[in-house]
Amino acid sequence: MQWDALLEKMIAGRWIAGINTSDAIAAAKEFNRHRITGIINYLGEEIKSEDEVESTVKKYMEVIDTISSTHTSADISLKLSQLGQNIDESLARRTYKKILSHASSSNIFVWLDMETYDKVEGTIDIFLDIGKKGKSGICIQSYLKRSVSDIKRLSEEDAIVRLVKGAYNAPSSIAYSSRELTTKNYYKLMDYLFRNLHRFTVATHDKEITLKALRLNKEYKRDITHAMLKGIHNQYAVELAKSGESVSIYIPFGEKWKEYAFRRISEGSNMHLVINSLFENQRI
Ligand SMILES: Cc1cc2nc3c(=O)[nH]c(=O)nc-3n(C[C@H](O)[C@H](O)[C@H](O)COP(=O)(O)OP(=O)(O)OC[C@H]3O[C@@H](n4cnc5c(N)ncnc54)[C@H](O)[C@@H]3O)c2cc1C
């Protein structure tokens, strides 16, 4: 077997649900058995043609309809650069609105992923203009220095936030370049969320952060969800769900798996993390 095909096979079963909507739904159903909600993402970003945007929108419509018809417990999560943000902002606004309205009629929650630093402002603006209160949320990255003020702005609008460390590169003038500083900022932002918001998601595989969130929630009693990526520490996610916590798993699927997979590999930073991730027990 060629290296490419071998890698595809290993990764397909680990971090990515598969190629088709039915693969994503099957993965979500498997998590549902453990009282875990899926967050389904159709892979693809930085789309530059309107035809491709249109077929992405169709795919999300199919995902929404299938979640609904199969009674799966799942949100969806999308990137504005999939919806035309790089072509024409009004196209991204139109397509995001269309998906939101379809999802909302089926009572399905819609997340906006956060992408590269140059898209943050535009993504927050579009979310605050179009997002539906209580039915949509947005991701914020702790590696960006601007996130403190972004989180304050979002809190004032009572937005639902998913806090992550951040998966992209950014210049050191605007981003924390070490994991330590990014983690320190995560704690600071999470503290702010506990003090100011009622509902938010702590998205991390960093157990120290999860334990701190659990401790804080004893005091604040917020509606928090712990979220992880498919294939990383999912057994811990199952334990959290078993103990009564609200837990979600992000489930990517689609043909364009390579970019996503290489992001996961590069952030593992220690190759042994990635090797473990590929070979540890694949069942949740
Ligand atoms: C639900 C969810 C949604 C996300 N959405 C976005 C988004 O919209 N935009 C964005 O920029 N980023 C997003 N991310 C990714 C996030 O920014 C981080 O890149 C990723 O979660 C790793 O950071 P960490 O908090 O787990 O901490 P880290 O300090 O990176 O990792 C903590 C521990 O987790 C394990 N781990 C982490 N990564 C790997 C890996 N690749 N392979 C094996 N083990 C690993 C290791 O045990 C590690 O010690 C999302 C993450 C989650 C969980």
Q: How far is CA 28 from the centre of its chain?
A: 14
pLDDT at 270: 41
Per-residue model confidence as pLDDT tens digits over 235-245: 999 999 999 99
- Alpha-carbon distance 112 to 141, whole Å? 12
- Alpha-carbon distance 32 to 40, whole Å? 13
pLDDT band at 282 (very low <50, low <70, confident <90, very high): very low
Name which residue leads in pLDDT, 4 or 163: 163
Centroid of ligand 1 to alpha carbon of 14 (angstroms): 15
Centroid of ligand 1 to alpha carbon of 246 (angstroms): 18
pLDDT of residue 155 exceeding 60? yes
Give the tokens for residue 65. Answer: 């309809």
Whether 40 contacts 75, CB under 8 Å: yes
CA contacts within 13 A on the Cβ side of 237: 29
Domains (range + CATH), the chain: 3-279 (3.20.20.220)
Q: Residue 176 — left, alpha, or beta (φ > 0 → left; ψ -120 to 50 → alpha)?
A: beta
- Alpha-carbon distance 20 to 63, whole Å? 10
- Alpha-carbon distance 258 to 134, whole Å? 33
Whether 86 contacts 40, CB under 8 Å: no
What residues line ligand 1, using a CB cutoff of 6 Å? 113-114, 139, 141, 164-168, 179, 203-206, 227-229, 232, 250, 264, 267-268, 273-274, 277
Per-residue model confidence as pLDDT tens digits over 213-223: 999 999 999 99
Q: Which ligand 1 atom minimizes the distance to the CA of 205? A: 26
**Mean pLDDT for the stretch of residues 1-30:** 81
Centroid of ligand 1 to alpha carbon of 182 (angstroms): 12
- Alpha-carbon distance 47 to 86, whole Å? 7
Give the lowest-confidence range in 111-115, 217-221, 276-280. Answer: 276-280
**Mean pLDDT for the stretch of residues 79-104:** 97
Whether 213 contacts 226, CB under 8 Å: yes
pLDDT band at 275 (very low <50, low <70, confident <90, very high): low
Query: Which contiguous run of DSSP H or E holds residue 284?
Result: none
Amino acid letter, 26: A
- Alpha-carbon distance 257 to 230, whole Å? 13
- Alpha-carbon distance 77 to 98, whole Å? 14
pLDDT at 278: 57
**Mean pLDDT for the stretch of residues 182-198:** 98
